[in-house]
Amino acid sequence: MLEILSDQPLVTAMGEVQWVKDFPSLAERMLEWMPEDLVGAPGQEVLPETLEVVLPDYSETLKPTYAVCNPNGDDWLLLVQEVKTVQKVWYSSTV
């Protein structure tokens, strides 16, 4: 389990929180998914470009890192986007 979660928690306004550093391992070990269930994972199918959505008003493109296809159809059940963690450092100063 330790290889799935980060060993450096993020400090938030609500305290320290753990974060997932290896989503494919979490999906296989904790959720008991088969490796081929997670499209975009290493060694699996490549994500189709049709899952990307451009938001021109925000100069942003939403693009999943992984996706789970509906086994009973051609649609998608879940899209997952990994994001970089950013640790903000809060400074206090006295004058």
Cα dihedral 12, 10, 24, 55 in deg (nearest 10): 50
At 63, list the tokens. Answer: 């693009």
What is the band of 2 on the pLDDT scale with cuts at 50, 70, 90?
low
* Model confidence pLDDT, tens digit, residues 9-54: 777 777 887 788 889 999 999 899 999 999 999 999 999 999 999 9
Q: Cβ of 77: how many Cβ atoms within 10 Å?
A: 12
pTM: 0.75
Contact indicator for 61, 76 with CB cutoff of 8 Å: no
Distance CA 92, CA 49 (A): 45
Determine the pLDDT at residue 94. Answer: 52
Strand partners, 10: 17
Give the tens place of pLDDT for each residue, 74-89. Answer: 899 999 998 877 655 5
Tell me which residue has tokens 């493109």. Answer: 61
pLDDT of residue 95: 47
Per-residue confidence (pLDDT) for residue 1, from 0 to 100: 62
